[in-house]
Structure 1
């Protein structure tokens, strides 16, 4: 398990992280982002939507749920979290530098989701015409290509092909991020979901082993960044309590798997 961020992602410079909504970057990759930033490797975070369809934790901010005020509030939470992680390079998809040349800025809206009987998330029946997964995919793909090209990305990180837990925006993030990686001949690293096996010996036979990064030295930053997301979660000791009441350990290990091209 590596503790040296200079070697992570095979030493690629300016790794681009592609995340669906504000808070995803901190929950799944916060320690890694803090470590890379401290090491001067200038990670770029691209957020695809502003999380307009998200639920809100019960309490003083609950009135924001379902209103036009939620998106700007989540943007502010994202800015605070990135500052805590030391990340200086961020873009929303659809806005320069994450917008294809010659096109006016646009906003890709949260597609929403519904919980399925399997426990995974699935598409919502009432996604808007401006939702990330409803707008023709070529538009968001070209925007992400522009972001990677402008940033001089040396590698791309996003979710696995199931989007981690099935949210349609996460699945879309995987698809366009991997497509851009292939187009630019860049390594594509998928986030190994919490609870997945990260012991490198587990996949030694097939060469598909995840790389586990020990983010203990940056765990404090990750926790403080998580606390910025008061609409979405609560930090309770060494766990996150999500808006739906689900508990998730705040891990000091973040793991990624290098996927083959194509």
Structure 2
């Protein structure tokens, strides 16, 4: 089994990307997934939560739109994944991403609060049905069921830092790592840091010619962010402003590494 991540993905017929919330697939891996689709790879997406706890950009939802936020965000992710060229998407806890004989279950957005500098945790209002509070084994069982049903050649997920440390992202990392180990499926981790330590093992590539696709996918999430500038996206990335006012850049380059060694798949 190759431990060179790009060689692994180039040889894959189907890959599954695992993310915590609607918009994560575009913000964290939009350029990567678009490039894979352009190369002829079938890309599928598993999202753990519906983003129910997200703040909303003022004015992004018309007053007459009385849908719950999760339905608004469902429409946003449908638009974004269509733009990215994703072939199928699934929700954790809904068949086929559901363990055999289990009743359908919802993994609710845990929200986030800073416990101390550099350490995030779920919000105080996160209930027992939140992604971080539901039993870990349930989520692993559900993702493993999807992997066994879809049989991807590789699964793309977060590294152990979970991008910026959101508890749902960190949980998604642990769930993905365990489900891949159980099913003997290669897990390709995406670097959280734009410039990780050289010994972290990530191999980086730039993605050319994807800026417009990624910009349109990101711009689908009007409730969560605003695209500020993308004139020099090919060089610097797509500048955005999150709902909380934080400025950020969606990079058009990705660092990948293969997690661990694998046994023969059952």
State if a TM-score over 0.5 links the two structures.
Answer: yes
Aligned pair count reads 249
Structure 2 counterpart of 1:209, from 201, 213, 216? 201
Q: CA deviation at 1:183?
A: 1.4
2:93 aligned partner: 94
Q: CA deviation at 1:209?
A: 2.7
Q: CA deviation at 1:10?
A: 5.4
2:74 aligned partner: 75
Separation in structure 2 between the aligned mates of residue 68 and residue 137 of structure 1, nearest angstrom = 30
Matches within 5 A, 1:128-139: 128-139=127-138
Structure 1 regions of 5+ residues with no counterpart?
none
1:171 aligned partner: 170
Separation in structure 1 between the aligned mates of residue 224 and residue 69 of structure 2, nearest angstrom = 11
1:250 aligned partner: 250
Separation in structure 2 between the aligned mates of residue 120 and residue 56 of structure 1, nearest angstrom = 24
Aligned to 2:164, the other structure's residue is in SS state coil
Residues 20-67 of structure 1: CA distance to partner in whole angstroms, max 9, x if unpaired? 000000001001111212222111110000000111112242879xx9
Q: CA deviation at 1:253?
A: 0.8
Is the CA contact 1:50–1:109 (under 8 Å) kept in the aligned structure 2? yes
Give the 3 Å change call, closer, same or farther, for CA 100–86 of structure 1 in structure 2: same
2:189 aligned partner: 190
1:108 aligned partner: 107
The CA RMSD over aligned residues, in Å, is 2.3
Separation in structure 2 between the aligned mates of residue 152 and residue 26 of structure 1, nearest angstrom = 23
Q: CA deviation at 1:250?
A: 2.5
Give the 3 Å change call, closer, same or farther, for CA 123–60 of structure 1 in structure 2: closer
